[in-house]
Each structure stands twice: as C-alpha cells, then as structure tokens.
Amino acid sequence: MTGLLSPASVSGALRVGFDVGGTKIDAVVVSDAGEVVLRARRPTGWGADAVVTAVSETAETFAAELGISTSGFASIGIGIPGQAAADQRSITHAVNLGIDYLDLAAAIEPRLGTRVRTENDVKAAALGAAALHGGTGTIAYLNLGTGVAAGFVTDGVLWRGARGTAGEVGHVSIDPRGPECRCGQTGCIEMFVGGGALARRWGRPVDHAVRDIFDAADDGDAEAIGIRDGFVFGVASAIRLITLSVDPDFTVLGGGVTGLGDRMLTRVVAELERGASTSAFLRSLELTAHLEVLPAGSPVAALGAALVGAQAHQQEVTVHG
C-alpha cells in the first residue's frame, strides 16, 4: 500500500474508489480536494464472492490504516467491466470476472456500513480523466484494453445516451471485409485494436500479444506488420470518429495497450497526419494537438470510481432534499 499524503493531515470526507479489472483491483482513497490519500492493488479472483471479498477487505485495510471504521468513508464507488444498472447498485454481464449479475451494493453495504455505487469501468475512467483535466469542458476517454470503448464527460457529467451505449466505438465497423466480431458484424474497430481479438489473431502463447506483435513487426515479420498497421489504423479511426461526433477538448487514451507508450503513439499520430495531409477539413480539426496518453499505472479509473460514489450522493441529496 502506498501513502501518497500523510493520512493524519487529511480532513473532510474520504471516498473510496475501486477499478475492478479482469486480473487485478486498483483501489484509492480520495480526499474532498480530490487528492489520492492511499492506493492499493491486489489480484481480483474469479466470480462474485471473490470480488465482494477483495473489495470489502481492501476497504477494511484502508480504514485500519486511517484509524477509522469503514462506515467513516463517505462513499464507495466501484468501476467494473460490465453494465451498471440505472440505480448504480448492481452490475450485469461482467464476463471477464465470471459474473452474470451481482448486486454489489447489497453484498457490500451491510458489511462496511457505507453507501456503495457501481459504474462501468470505462465510464468511471472517463470521469477520472475529466477530473484530472480540471473538471470543465468536454473530455473523451478512449480505453484501449481487452476491449475498446470510449466515455464522454462534459463539465463533470457523463454522457450515457438513451440506452447507455454512447461511446461503444469498438463496434463501429471500419472494414466490411475485416475479421468477424463476436457482436455479429465484421471489421469492428475492436477486431483491429482490442487486446483480446489481437491475442486470438496472433495465436502465440505470450503474456502481452500487442507488445509481441509490435516487437515481431520491428523484426520484419510480415504477418505482424499487417496486424500492427491494422491496429494503428483502428486507433486512428476511433480518434477521428470521436472527434467528428463529440468534438472534445481532449481525447485521452488509456487502458493496458497504452503501456506501449510512444511506440504506439508515434504511429497513430503519423496515421492521423497522413489522413489530414489530403484533407483540409481533417487538418482544421488538429486531431493530434488534442490527444493525450495516460501514463502507465495511472489510477484514473479508481479515481473516477470514487467520484461516482460522490455524484450518486449529491444526486440523492438533491432529489430527497
């Protein structure tokens, strides 16, 4: 566990945020001022019981470190790769965790004595990215991980759309002759960019398929070069799509794939500039000037999840007050 501020020096409401991923949980305690007071990471485990236990134990460890009880936390927000219900208490379709349906709030609130709210992990990360940008304007967050999706935040408020599917850019088809996607379409952006799809296409037993593809492409492997160039085209396509439909102040790239850092960004920027070289319209959008990559290991999703708990609380005060 890492203490980023002296816990004794922090006053006011403390909120806990969790980013529950397929393999690990990233957790933070955030102060009223939005500063990360404590941070912890641990393996997730598989299935509903493992997730509930890991989240509960981490919150209890935080509370012990701060010398308070868990009911002393103002809220707990949980970002999770699934679909959050409208009341933000339960989640469905968290397939990477082996969870079809789980009422996280019902499972955790009685044990910890604190309100629990859930959010889709990409939407939570979008809130965190927007907060790191000062909380105003429009921020698009593009998650390049096992899957590919975006979240949009304007002046601190998530834009969900009518059915909560706003930002599912991974399932926009960019090649009618491309690989078949699990969604039933062909050539979806996720088939070119998603870590899961690339691992299947690459077919080699490596820990990090995208890095292995980039390495092999550097060594001149023709298949790897084809997949890498498709990846770069897919990321650039997603950025163009987001800019033309949402017009954000900034597009922030996050997710495991961004661990490639400049190796990826340099090629994506070159692809965007290649497209702009023949289009005065695309040039006028200055796509690359408003592009950022989160540093590796950024707690943006956990930070955003802590804000989910805070926002739910404010909305309830407004409705009931």
- Residues binding Zn ion (CB under 5 A): 171, 181, 183, 185, 188
CB contact at 8 A, 140 and 122: no
Specify the residue, 124 or 169, whose C-beta has the smaller distance to Zn ion.
169
Nearer to Zn ion by Cβ, of 125 and 181: the residue is: 181
Q: How far is the CB of 188 from Zn ion (least distance, A)?
A: 3
Question: CA of 87: how far to CAs of 118, 174, 214, in Å?
Answer: 9, 34, 42
52/181 with CB nearer Zn ion: 181
Cα 80 to Cα 92, 93, 320: the distances in Å are: 10, 10, 27
Query: Please, which residue, 115 or 171, has the CB nearer to Zn ion?
Result: 171
Residues 6+ apart with CB under 8 A from 30: 14, 15, 16, 17, 36, 37, 303, 306, 307
User: Alpha-carbon distance 7 to 238, whole Å?
Assistant: 41
Shortest Cβ distance from residue 192 to Zn ion (Å)? 11
Paired with 159 in beta bridges are 152
- Which contiguous run of DSSP H or E holds residue 265? helix 262-277
188 vs 312, which CB is nearer to Zn ion?
188
Query: What is the closest distance, in whole angstroms, from the C-beta atom of residue 186 to Zn ion in the complex?
Result: 8
Dihedral of CA atoms 40, 69, 81, 48 in degrees, nearest 10, equals: 110
* Shortest Cβ 185–Zn ion spacing (Å): 5
CB atoms < 10 A from the CB of 69, how many?
13
Burial tier of 321 (Cβ tally within 10 Å: 0-12, 13-18, 19+): exposed
Q: Shortest Cβ distance from residue 201 to Zn ion (Å)?
A: 14
95/296 with CB nearer Zn ion:
95
Toward Zn ion, which CB reaches closer, 158 or 174? Answer: 174
Beta strands in the chain (DSSP E): 2-3, 15-20, 24-30, 36-43, 75-80, 83-84, 90-94, 99-103, 116-120, 138-144, 148-154, 157-159, 250-254, 291-293
Minimum CB separation from Zn ion for residue 271, in Å?
21
